[in-house]
Amino acid sequence: MKIKYIAYVASSIDGRIAKKNNSDIDWTSKEDSEFYQNSLKKVDVVIVGHNTYRLAGKRNWKDAIVLTSKFHIPKVKGNITFFNPKRYDLKKLLQERNYKKVAIIGGSKVYDFCLRNKMMDEIFVTIEPYIFTNGISMFSGSTFKKYKLHLHSIKVLNKKKTVLLRYLIKR
């Protein structure tokens, strides 16, 4: 059975997901937070970068795979697996564990890695009505590549006009 990969991103209008690598996401709306928390209840595992994992604190994730270069071999602590995708095959690990629905929650290197490795079938982007002018971009690729998306839905979440976009990735 094919694994379904779904990315969740909160962004400013100018495509920034944070002020800097260790910034909290306290600027997102209550409505985005509710959508995000409800969505994560419906997945089998969360893929997250090490910085985002540290900032998120203890979450009620069923399982999580923290992508990090700090470990040479996978390390399991309870329901959390610390995993170096440069040394091991992440898709193989997900298949071996029989995951069906995978959430990708950031940061920019994780989004980029998953997109480039065909591990992103759809992406939910919450656009908060801010412009940061500087900060961490949604994707951090070092080489240019264009991906074709299909806008599936648009939903206004609140009176501030926070917008939730759902895109399907074209293959």
Q: CATH number, domain at 43?
A: 3.40.430.10
Which tens digits make up the pLDDT trace of 67-90?
Answer: 999 888 999 999 999 999 999 999
Total-model pTM: 0.93
What is the number of domains present in the chain? 1
Domain range holding 32?
4-169
Distance separating alpha carbons of residues 105 and 59, to the nearest angstrom: 13
Which tens digits make up the pLDDT trace of 29-50?
Answer: 999 999 999 999 999 999 999 9
Q: Is 38 helix (H, G, I), strand (E, B) or coil?
A: helix
104, burial (CB in 10 Å: exposed 0-12, middle 13-18, buried 19+): buried
Q: Which two tokens stand for residue 143?
A: 């080489």
Band of residue 21 on the pLDDT scale cut at 50, 70, 90: low
